[in-house]
Homo-oligomer: A and B are copies of this chain.
């Protein structure tokens, strides 16, 4: 069970979900990067960037979201648990980790990921997390047990539109809030979607990962507003919103 630094909840308060948005969930985009804007030292290599304080913050944030979405590349590289280990607002022993955790949503158009044998499955079997929704463009030949498949029509460029993903998560799964944690392709696309992102929360760790790392940088300039910064022991966190 994780706690969170006392000064983080007041800092994050104005950026937490406060209900859905015109039929789509409230969307928080969040990630941790190095000074040189890398989220990993190499593609597929899990890299420690930030202090335990900001890892705790991530678990705190997860508590306030119905869903947690990441791309298949990151799931394949990191095998993340995606559950919420925060102790909860009342430190209530009756509130299970499963209840506190957001539902994992894996964007996996080509069905590369297997739930079976994953950390997520392990946590779910132990009552410490929820079973995932897999977003894909084709009906799987073999459906995995406990996996919900959300089949989406790709557009002319063989992509699924973010708006349709979010609308469907709201409509079919009643999701009022989704936290999006990566990887770089997902983040770079969504930084260009100011109409879909409600909060942006970026941790910057005081390290350079080097030019071979995995970069977060959107295709074009992105201006921010409602900016606030938090200083930790070795990291900073920026909360903001995207300008239209």
Contacts and interface: CB of A to CB of B under 8 A. Distances in A.
Interface of A: 33, 35-38, 41, 188, 191, 202, 204, 206-213, 215-224, 227, 229, 231, 234, 236, 238, 240
Contacts of A204: 35, 204, 236
B206 A224 contact: yes
Contacts of A188: 211
Contact of A238 (B33, B35, B210, B223): B35
Please give the count of copies of this chain that the complex contains: 2
Given A36-B215, A202-B35, A221 B210 contact: yes
Given A37-B35, A37-B36, A227-B234, A191 B217 contact: no
B37 A217 contact: yes
Given A231-B229, A236-B229, A213 B206 contact: no
Residue among A37, A188, A206, A208 facing the most chain B CB atoms (10 A cut-off)? A208
B217 A211 contact: yes
A238 B208 CA distance: 13
Given A37-B36, A202-B35, A219 B227 contact: no
Contacts of A220: 210, 212
A226 to B, nearest CB: 10
